[in-house]
Structure 1
Amino acid sequence: MPGFQLKQPQHRELSGGDLLAQCLKQLGVDTAFGIHGGHLDAFLMGCDHSGIRLVDTRHETVAVQAAEGYAKVKGKVGVCFVTANSGFSNSLPGLATAIADRSPIFVITSSPPLRDAETNCLQGFLDQVVVSKPLTKFSHRVTHPEEIPRLVSHAYRTANSGTPGPVMIDFPIEILFSPVRQESISWGSISSPQAYPPSPSPRAVTEALALWKAAKRPAIVISTGCRGAEASKSLLELAEATQTPIFQSMKGFGPLLLDHPLHAGLAGNLAKLPYVGKPRPDLIFMLGARTGMFMGGRSGIIIPERECKLIQIDIDGSEIGRSCHVDVGIVSDMTEALQSFNAAVKSDPFQTPEEWVELATSLKHTPSASDKDQKLINSKMHPYHALKAVLSALEPGCILSIDGGEAGSWTTDLLEVAQPSSSFFSAGYLGMLGNGFGYSLGAAVADPTRQIINIQGDGSAGFHFSELDTYARHKLNILTVVVNNYVWGMSIHGQELVYGDKNPARPVSTLSATTRYDVIAGGFGNESAMIDKLEDIEATVKRFSEVKGPACINLIVSDKPTHSGTVAMVSPTDDPNMIVVPYYDNIPRPYYK
């Protein structure tokens, strides 16, 4: 096969597992996350022979989410492996987050021999292809080892083309262990270069620019669909040429330079304009940003649909106009689209009015209401002030993974204090807690030059805290901060807002005040400390940042303050004719009181 030289292992025949590993290596894979299972041994031996690094986790969900985190930072397909049925079942939450958040990952699993189908054999109950179909872009079972290159290259390209997402291939155990008939190998496109990505229609670019030129208050809003070095370079070129302020969805932050004069902070800042008596944007240019929960839902608080033109560019045509009227919709690769717009602006330049740029970029400097709050509440640290001290003590350029409910909300408020190179809202579109452990792991492996900050609430910390063992075994530069108030903050505060003080019941919303995350972290080989005083934070964070390996802070804070985001999501009202529906729009009573 031109461009692909098979490597014959010493002391054994070339097996399906070897061929699988060598195919992945040919496609550019250098790392795979997972947990050992005997079904996969032939593949794991092949990885060792091919020079693919194997990073073993303590839970399969985390392995899949580590592949996600790796993909987010590295900008290429993340690979993971899970063993048959039991391991595969644990991988399903990772597949669910990857399909929802458009993460390009490749999940490798195995199954019993094909001849043992429907015999109640070991780890053979689930049909893994059938189960994974709704959660993947492509799911398949290989039945001949010689077909591995064709199917692997197809799956890999499917994960990373068009709308990115997860793929899964099931390799029955005998396919991995069987010798390969090299003369019968179906190579497929294993050595072909990636196809050229789709570009925007010139007519669409012309229509969009006509709206942009006519606007007096345009704003660019970007999200995770606008990542990568080339896209970032082209984005800055376009923003600077047109002098248009750039806002970012809380879903993904970076890699835009935070100190750039056109950087206007989170898209949620646009919601402040009516409250300060200023006009709202009359055009929003959405780049790889989806409407929905991260853009104010259907409230119109961020995208004022009636008074604002909307241009939306996305690789997925089904996202354009999903919940808002769109004036110009463009299906395109983001870098290709930005380059087309840059070329058009060069030939017909224009710029945004300076007074709007000054107003838009000033919004991120609006003082937080929490700045005025007491730093201590009932002798415990206010979570806002505690996290502000943590983030202020970090060296600029970290990668920030934000997990938890209110712990994540307080952190998002303070995001720019940390001056991160990028950040993830780890709960994603599913709102799944605990993802941050895997995302932090994948990010640390993808970029070992940066410190990874893994923010957790004490609720989300309970899901995958044992991964601190993984961090220690692989000597990863991850600082885990558990924001610990002994309750499920968003849950208990939501109950308070809905049911008030007259009903003191707060079912299943409290946690243990005796749990010592710092002690557990120490047992896993992490440097650790419990902090309950503001004056101890800076020195501890700086000391742990110099540690060669992982560390953990058990940050004891008050459970009393309710984050404003919780209030906004619950939307409590005294109107007797409305039914409060927490986290969604309230609905009218079917009958009036």
Structure 2
Amino acid sequence: MSGFSLQYPSSRELTCGDLLAQSLKQLGVEVAFGLHGGHLDAFLVGCEMVGIRLVDTRHETVAVQAAERYSRMSTKPAYFSKERISFSNGLAGLATAYGDRSPILCITSSPPTRDTENNSLQGLVDQVVAARPITKFAHRVVAPEECPRIVSHALRIAQASPPGPVLLDFPIDVLFSPIHPKLISWGSITSSPTYPPGPHSEAIEAAAELIRNAKRPVIITGTGARSSEARKSIFKMAEKCDIPVFNSSKYASFTPQSPMLSEGTAGVLGRLTYANLARPDLILLLGARTGMFLGGRNGAIIPDKECALVQVDCDGGEIGRSLPIELGIVSDIEAFALAMNNRLETADYQGSVDKAWVQSVLGLSSAESPFESDAQESSSGLLHPYHAMKHVFSAVEPGSIVILDGGEAGAWAADLARYSKPSTVMTSTGYLGFLGTGFGYTLGSAIAAPNRKIVNIQGDGSAGFHLMELDTYKRFGLNVMTVIVNNSVWGMSINGQDIVYGTATSERPISSLDPGTEYDVVAKGLQNTSAKVSQIAEVQPTVTRFQAQKGPSCINLIVDRKPVHPITTLMVGLTDSPDAVVVPYYDNIPRAHYNV
């Protein structure tokens, strides 16, 4: 096959496992995350032979999440699971990747084909069937020589718009079977890559007209606009038209820089009314999905009246999913921004933007927080969470990658991460809201960007999911600093209960954790440099010291559970109206009235 030279082992036969590894290598895969399992040894040995790096975790879910995060930065990951029980452990990660549109390939193995329905080891669950609802494509490979064609097909599906996870299962007898070279089906394994969809010319004209007439336009970017080339083109358009740019809270990239890029995420648009500023009359959503990360349908971030909404997404099904739109464009974001810039260059652009409003909006994120004047320590002697996190980020190395996990811990960190001048801030909980995902995202980031420092922010609740991955960080010598914001409760849960049920009663079901848990001691046992920090004067020196060293570290940061973060109050949606039933985390529902 032209462009593909098979590598033959020197002391054994060429197997399907070898062919699988070589197919992935040919398609650009460089890293595989997962756990060892004898079912997959033929593949793992093949990976070693062709130079695919194997990164093993302490839990299968983390392996999928690491591949998901790696795909955000490198675009060509692979994840492998060992046997069926491991696949079941990894389902949560696969579901998150599906919800967040991450293009990853999951490789699993299963009992021999002759042993189906034979009470074989881990033969109960058909993982192809189980995976289909949460993948774009799931398939069992039963002919070894078909491997290159199917792998190429699966990866193209994963990367096609909209991207998402795919799964290939190889029964163990297939994976260990010798290959007949003349029977190999190569498919499109050496074909040139496909190009993403571009915008229609009429759509560009319509968008240009809306921008030209807008007085208060805003751009909100999401994960679909994460590539550096897309962002350069977006900033060129924004600077030409004087449009402020806001990252969504799901994915905030600060490289490259632009005078039109806000330091705050799109959430600060909710402050416009309180700042006596008019709200936007045009919003361009570029690769940013509506829903929980943009305020849902409550109008707090995206006005529900007197604001035109232009939504550009590679997935036509996302356009108008939850909000009415003025113009929908199915396109890759870079292709859209390039087309817009070409359109703007062909004619004299004369917009009507209120430049004073633009500068006021860009300054919203630097406005003083209402918590700034609070005491740095509470009356109980515990650290104020706002001040504790501000001191953390004031000492973080500029250009670091910040991963956010947890409830209120992640919310406090999101408000203050800008003090570290980060390259990227990513909320790991995603559209499914899974906690603990940050450990895998951190691992994937550290493997993809080994020259950057990674800051892994965890609440003490989310930390309990995958704390053993500190061992993984140590084994691979990763420059990861984990900060566990420890208030000994499920913060968003217990504070939400306070809001809904009042503080007069002490009944708080299953929302407390043990204040005696010493995360720093656990981290030390896992060979991470660690410290317990409970004094404000200790925060910055500890962060500075840990970031200056090589290898992983962990800070057990002791904070108070009060004050309540505003996001909790917003999400609970408490109201004095007798006609509404409060439904935490969602829109309130009208109370049913019956005539008696």
Q: TM-score, normalised by structure 1?
A: 0.98
Q: CA deviation at 1:540?
A: 0.9
Residue 272 of structure 2 aligns with an amino acid whose one-letter code is: L
Partner of residue 292, structure 2: 293
Aligned pairs for 1:189-588 within 5 A: 189-257=188-256, 260-263=259-262, 265-348=264-347, 349-351=349-351, 352-377=353-378, 378-588=380-590
Residue 584 of structure 2 aligns with an amino acid whose one-letter code is: P
Residue 310 of structure 2 aligns with an amino acid whose one-letter code is: I
Q: CA deviation at 1:256?
A: 3.8
Q: Quote the Cα distance in structure 2 between the aligned partners of 1:127 and 1:260.
A: 53
Q: Quote the Cα distance in structure 1 between the aligned partners of 2:418 and 2:263.
A: 11
Q: Does 1:30 align with 2:30?
A: yes
Residue 491 of structure 2 aligns with an amino acid whose one-letter code is: G
Partner of residue 138, structure 2: 139
**Retained in 1: the 8 A contact 2:96–2:431?**
yes
Secondary structure in 1 matching 2:557: strand
CA distances 1:518-540 after superposition (whole Å, capped 9, x unpaired): 01001111000000001011111
**Retained in 1: the 8 A contact 2:224–2:286?**
yes
Q: CA deviation at 1:104?
A: 0.8
Q: Quote the Cα distance in structure 1 between the aligned partners of 2:350 and 2:449.
A: 38
Residue 343 of structure 1 aligns with an amino acid whose one-letter code is: N
Partner of residue 65, structure 1: 65
Q: Quote the Cα distance in structure 2 between the aligned partners of 1:309 and 1:574.
A: 31
Q: CA deviation at 1:548?
A: 1.1
Residue 404 of structure 1 aligns with an amino acid whose one-letter code is: G
Secondary structure in 2 matching 1:553: strand
Q: Quote the Cα distance in structure 2 between the aligned partners of 1:305 and 1:346.
A: 32
Q: Quote the Cα distance in structure 2 between the aligned partners of 1:450 and 1:542.
A: 15
Aligned pairs for 1:74-223 within 5 A: 74=74, 76-223=75-222
Q: Gaps spanning 5+ residues in structure 2: where?
A: none
Secondary structure in 2 matching 1:29: coil
Q: Quote the Cα distance in structure 1 between the aligned partners of 2:238 and 2:144.
A: 50
Q: CA deviation at 1:282?
A: 0.5
Secondary structure in 2 matching 1:306: coil
Q: CA deviation at 1:190?
A: 0.5
CA distances 1:255-303 after superposition (whole Å, capped 9, x unpaired): 4446734436211111111112221110001100111111111111111
Q: CA deviation at 1:353?
A: 3.1
Secondary structure in 2 matching 1:197: coil
More displaced 10-residue stretch of structure 1: 582-591 or 33-42: 582-591
CA distances 1:182-215 after superposition (whole Å, capped 9, x unpaired): 0000000110111121110000110111111011
Secondary structure in 2 matching 1:275: coil
Q: Quote the Cα distance in structure 1 between the aligned partners of 2:10 and 2:535.
A: 59
**Retained in 1: the 8 A contact 2:243–2:260?**
no
CA distances 1:280-334 after superposition (whole Å, capped 9, x unpaired): 1100011001111111111111111320011110000000001111111000111
Secondary structure in 2 matching 1:140: strand
**Retained in 2: the 8 A contact 1:458–1:484?**
yes
Q: TM-score, normalised by structure 2?
A: 0.98
Q: Quote the Cα distance in structure 2 between the aligned partners of 1:415 and 1:548.
A: 22
Q: Quote the Cα distance in structure 2 between the aligned partners of 1:60 and 1:83.
A: 9
CA 1:560–1:364 in 2, change beyond 3 Å: closer, same or farther? closer
Q: CA deviation at 1:576?
A: 2.7
Residue 19 of structure 1 aligns with an amino acid whose one-letter code is: L
Q: CA deviation at 1:591?
A: 2.0
Residue 289 of structure 2 aligns with an amino acid whose one-letter code is: R
Residue 300 of structure 2 aligns with an amino acid whose one-letter code is: I
**Retained in 2: the 8 A contact 1:77–1:160?**
no
**Retained in 2: the 8 A contact 1:20–1:149?**
yes
Residue 441 of structure 2 aligns with an amino acid whose one-letter code is: Y
Q: Quote the Cα distance in structure 2 between the aligned partners of 1:538 and 1:262.
A: 27
**Retained in 1: the 8 A contact 2:235–2:258?**
no
Q: CA deviation at 1:592?
A: 7.4
Q: Quote the Cα distance in structure 1 between the aligned partners of 2:50 and 2:499.
A: 57
Aligned pairs for 1:37-48 within 5 A: 37-48=37-48
Secondary structure in 1 matching 2:7: coil
Q: Gaps spanning 5+ residues in structure 1: where?
A: none
**Retained in 2: the 8 A contact 1:224–1:288?**
yes
**Retained in 2: the 8 A contact 1:246–1:265?**
no
More displaced 10-residue stretch of structure 1: 466-475 or 565-574: 565-574
Secondary structure in 2 matching 1:590: coil
Q: How many pairs are equivalent? A: 592
Residue 59 of structure 1 aligns with an amino acid whose one-letter code is: H
Residue 198 of structure 1 aligns with an amino acid whose one-letter code is: P
CA 1:211–1:264 in 2, change beyond 3 Å: closer, same or farther? farther
Secondary structure in 1 matching 2:193: coil
Residue 36 of structure 1 aligns with an amino acid whose one-letter code is: H
Secondary structure in 1 matching 2:191: coil
More displaced 10-residue stretch of structure 1: 513-522 or 265-274: 265-274
Q: Quote the Cα distance in structure 1 between the aligned partners of 2:61 and 2:249.
A: 24
More displaced 10-residue stretch of structure 1: 201-210 or 349-358: 349-358
Q: Quote the Cα distance in structure 1 between the aligned partners of 2:108 and 2:56.
A: 15
More displaced 10-residue stretch of structure 1: 301-310 or 165-174: 301-310
CA distances 1:91-139 after superposition (whole Å, capped 9, x unpaired): 1000110010111111100000111110010111111110000000010
Secondary structure in 1 matching 2:568: helix
**Retained in 2: the 8 A contact 1:232–1:255?**
no
Residue 134 of structure 1 aligns with an amino acid whose one-letter code is: P
Q: Percent identity?
A: 54
RMSD: 1.2
Q: Quote the Cα distance in structure 2 between the aligned partners of 1:533 and 1:592.
A: 56
CA 1:258–1:236 in 2, change beyond 3 Å: closer, same or farther? closer
Q: Quote the Cα distance in structure 2 between the aligned partners of 1:315 and 1:15.
A: 38
**Retained in 2: the 8 A contact 1:246–1:264?**
no
Secondary structure in 1 matching 2:478: coil
Secondary structure in 2 matching 1:225: helix
Q: CA deviation at 1:415?
A: 2.0
**Retained in 1: the 8 A contact 2:232–2:256?**
no
Q: Quote the Cα distance in structure 1 between the aligned partners of 2:226 and 2:245.
A: 14
**Retained in 1: the 8 A contact 2:500–2:572?**
yes
Residue 301 of structure 1 aligns with an amino acid whose one-letter code is: A
CA distances 1:546-590 after superposition (whole Å, capped 9, x unpaired): 111000000000122111110011012233332111111112211
Secondary structure in 2 matching 1:247: strand
Q: Does 1:5 align with 2:13?
A: no
**Retained in 1: the 8 A contact 2:83–2:109?**
yes
